[in-house]
Amino acid sequence: MQNDYIRVEIDEDIAIVTIDRPPVNALNSSAYGELFEVFYAISKNDAVKVVILTGAGKKVFVAGADVKEFLDFDSETGMSYTKRNNYVREYIRKFNKPVICAINGWAFGGGCALALVCDIRIASQNAKFNLGEINMGILGGSQYIAQLAHFGTACKMVYSGETIGVETALRTGIVDEVVEADKLMERCADLAKKIASKSPLAVKFAKECMNEAQEGSLKDGLKYEEEVLSRLWGTNDAKEAVNAFLEKRNPVFIGK
């Protein structure tokens, strides 16, 4: 796949997707389109079990949108832009494989929102975060940040556009782990390999259950989990996992 802004590397069962649009990896309409196309292609590749999403360079993950595009927007064209971007983000949030975000630097505006829709966020020590859309007279990322962060922190970021450091992001639930910059991709790869070693069916349904937990009530979530388990108990992978445990060996899963 030939792209201008999104690079893809397949390392066995891990796909590494890199946003590469110098100097600050700002996402324009073309980059969003490429991002969707890349994730769609990965969704059809059964060999890939986990995706790592990151930005090129050592300073910036994604420093927001390319605001030059905003100059020509009105209510109609601006909303078309918003709905398209939301569609891409929701596609990634509900993607059929786990997505680990390796936040290698600034995650501002749309870059912060993009990180928030990933399943797991691991950040380097130099990462910073904001939802600076308010500075452009609009807003963005409010629903995603409210799901994950302490509510007061979410409000502060959405209302003020204030930038926070990585330790505050960790303390308030925006990121899940912080590592040294030169260890970021190694840590993400190790976690991706660990996830990829599990039953593909179990991981797929686990992601669906976690999304259900975010969107619905506990009662509905428990019911959904029971429905999922009724399917998983009878799989070859479940039997293989038990046999491997009892025989003290690594399981060999076939996704059935």
Tell me if 1 sits within 8 A of 37, measured CB to CB.
yes
Residue 5 CA to residue 31 CA, distance in Å, equals 6
The mean pLDDT values, 10 residues at a time, for the chain of 256 residues are 91 97 95 97 96 97 92 91 95 97 98 98 98 94 96 97 97 98 98 97 96 93 95 94 95 91
**With contact defined as beta carbons under 8 Å apart, do 34 and 25 qualify?**
no
Q: Say what the pLDDT of residue 255 is.
A: 87
DSSP string of 68-112, one letter each residue: GGGGG--HHHHHHHHHHHHHHHHHHHT-SS-EEEEE-SEEETHHH
Separation of alpha carbons 104 and 184, rounded Å? 7
Bridge partners, 65 (sequence order): 27
**Dihedral angle sign, alpha carbons of residues 206, 36, 254, 247:** negative
Q: Is 197 left (phi over 0), alpha (psi -120 to 50) or beta?
A: alpha
Neighbours of 245 (CB within 10 A): 10
- Taking a C-beta distance cutoff of 8 angstroms, is the pair 27, 19 a contact? yes
Residue with tokens 């600050």: 24
